[in-house]
Chains A and B, each alone.
Chain A
Amino acid sequence: MMLRINNNKQRNAQFLWGWLFILPTMIGLIILNIIPIFRTIFQSFFKTGDFGKGNIFIGLQNYSKLFEDTEVWQSLWNTIKYVIVEVPVSIMIALIIAVLLNQKIKGKSIFRTIFFLPMIAAPAAIAMVWRWLYNSQFGLLNNVFNLDVAWISDPSIAIYSIAVIGIWSVVGYNIVLFLAGLQEIPRDYYEAARIDGASGINQFFHITIPLLSPSIFFVSVTRMIAAFQVFDLIYMVMTDTNPAIEKTQSLVYLFYQYSFTYGNKGYGATIAVLLLVVIMMITGIQIYAQKKWVHYS
């Protein structure tokens, strides 16, 4: 209310302090990231030469090629499938575990550390263990459960198998954020609810979820953005002779192939722009929709 009383003076003060506070971040971001981003967008209008020399302007040719390139659209579809599985499932699992870890239980700090561990596991170990789990002939999954599933070389399921690795590796990330969020929920709320006779499940849906919604929103936006950029997992597990590669390669995988393996930075940049547009749309929707369900106090 006070903000409105002293309108002009407040507005000036907020402007000055606001810019002062964001200045270090903005300067850093512009130099480190934003300029390279715009250079990339710029590149998408060129047939690029080697090492950034001898670029030839070709207008929208890269884009018209992009629209006809079924490989690109397939990759977009693969990426979307990955996101749809990875993001919601990892959020749900993390939510449950974070809430459990927030109860009065023994060994809390050991459990917390265990869930943190996958985040610092060496990529070589992650790749090795999952290849072993998934190996169709000799792998653990098929042998223990007596299955005959080609987890990572059957085109119709490989992307989901990769999403499972994704879930496994980001659950810890989500848990850390939810735990941080849970600390901000005052204990008294639960005590009041308990006196009113609300069950644990009731408390979860009526206190925890709404009050944790800023954290959930943050996690879903950042995870969505990151999941759309899935690359490492696919790069680690798949080879280009794998029968499932077309149905698993993500947009960033394709971007990487064009930019670094094939040396076609211009077309790589075009793919990156497509990715940018898709992510922007979805993030935009999320930010718009947050008003409906996110509770800021």
Chain B
Amino acid sequence: MKKLMALFMVMILALSIAGCKNETITDQGKSEGGSTTKDNAVSKSSDKLTVAIWDTNQQAGLQEIMNDWSAQSGVKAEIQVLSWDEYWTLLEAGASGGSMPDVFWMHSNNSQKYIKNNLLLDLTDQILASDKIDMNHYYEDISELYAMDQKQYAMPKDIDTIALWYNKTMFDEAGVPYPDSTWTWDTLYETAKKLTKDDGSQYGYAINTGNNQDSYYNAIYAYSGKVISEDKKTSGYDDPKTIEAMEVFEKILNEGLSPNLQIMAENGADVLLKSGKVAMITQGSWMVPGFRDNEYTSENCDIAVLPKAPDGTRVSIYNGLGWAAAANGKNTDAAWSLIEYLSTKEAQLKQAELGVTMSAYKGTSEEWKNGVPYFNLQAYLDMLDATLIIRPYSLSTSIWEDMVNKELRAAWSGEATMKDTLIKIAESMNKTLAEE
């Protein structure tokens, strides 16, 4: 035992010393960067950029693109994946006095907070000076997520849309035609009726109660209702149009065409589709890899555009991540150069081609649909031509979204009417918005 301990101790000492030698060079640079001295002795060409993301499924594809950039610039870029919670803890720790990664993803839930506190590198001048970038090529609302006071703090990385997944086998069995572009949300309700079996072995439609973006938000805006007003001061949940749209879902749940709230909370819509429990779900383009790798869904399921409102409006809520750099990074020139490259048509095309995600650069996503031959991914691209509404947000999105999720359970379970619930939600949300 004692010998073992002694051995450990020697190993520790040896390794921590060896560790120190390697680290002093690179880390001094970092801490200096932290104290805003930008120029340092570290030679830039030999340097490497640390890139942080939170989705392991995108790592391989993005690294390939970054390697192209490294080949041009001579600077290495290494992607590090964290899980979602740790990712934001890291950024927050970095923002509160530690060091941040050089280049990282930004999400609309948090972007305003980071911009307001001057933590993101202001890219405005570089964008103007760049001959590779023209902001008109990107979906405007995504750029907007990462801008404040006419300044741009992150470049749009990708875009996601929502579409309708359906189980062909179940449709065939019931002798019902597949969903198409003529469908309204009422058609979805009517069809769900035909596809629901009384014994609870099969449901027509499952609403993803945990994720608003891929379910009811789309209907709300199609019915020309809203979640939050343009000026982000008032809630739109008490808008009669919003209520009308939400009552479609109320009907679906009350009539047992969807698994009940309990089953939904325990399982999630995608799992229910994968297990052959539901005939239809609405899901975002980010879920494609999960359905692609699943034998059941790849054999039995396909995709169609979302239904439209009675007046013919078809809406997809969309969102997109941004590439941002640390304002106090040690090598902001290289960081910008990487972000610039990632935003070029070439890199954005490759991102779609490799099947990483659809790209934020307009017209580069065509290739993405060939990624999975057995799904009609064109539906997601068609949704880009529908009315695109950016995922509603304000400074306190996460607070009121949580509240809405909780309050809505009363309506989903039938304890309260949808209308009453929504009016209550609107009141509470207005209070939160007033405090912003």
Contacts and interface: CB of A to CB of B under 8 A. Distances in A.
B262 A261 contact: no
6 contacts: A53-B117, A135-B267, A240-B405, A241-B406, A242-B265, A260-B85
Contacts of B209: 241
A261 B96 CA distance: 16
B11 interface: no
A131 B267 CA distance: 9
A136 B405 contact: no
A97 interface: no
Contacts of A51: 92, 95-96, 117, 119
Interface in A235-261: 239-243, 245-246, 257, 260-261
A127 interface: no
B267 A153 contact: no
Contact of A150 (B85, B262, B264, B267): B262
Contacts of A52: 96-97
A50 interface: yes
A222 interface: no
B263 A50 contact: no
B406 A240 contact: yes
A137 interface: yes
Interface string B130-160: 0000000000000000000000000000000
Nearest to A150: B262
B3 interface: no
A243 B398 contact: no
A239 B265 CA distance: 7
The dominant DSSP class at the B interface is helix
B88 interface: yes
Interface of B: 85, 88-89, 92, 95-97, 113, 116-117, 119, 209-210, 261-267, 396, 398-399, 402, 405-406, 408-409, 413
A49 B119 CA distance: 14
Interface residues of A, number: 25
A152 interface: yes
A261 B402 contact: yes
Interface of A: 50-53, 131, 134-138, 150, 152-153, 239-243, 245-246, 257, 260-263
Contacts of B262: 136, 150, 153, 243
A139 B85 CA distance: 28
B264 A241 contact: yes
Contact of A262 (B95, B265, B266, B398): B398
A241 B117 contact: no
A253 to B, nearest CB: 12
Contacts of B398: 261-263
A240 B408 CA distance: 11
B406 A136 contact: no
A238 to B, nearest CB: 8
A53 B117 CA distance: 9
B305 to A, nearest CB: 26
Contacts of B396: 262
Nearest to A153: B262
Contact of B117 (A50, A137, A246): A50
Contacts of A152: 266
B96 A241 contact: no
B413 A243 contact: yes
Nearest to B413: A243
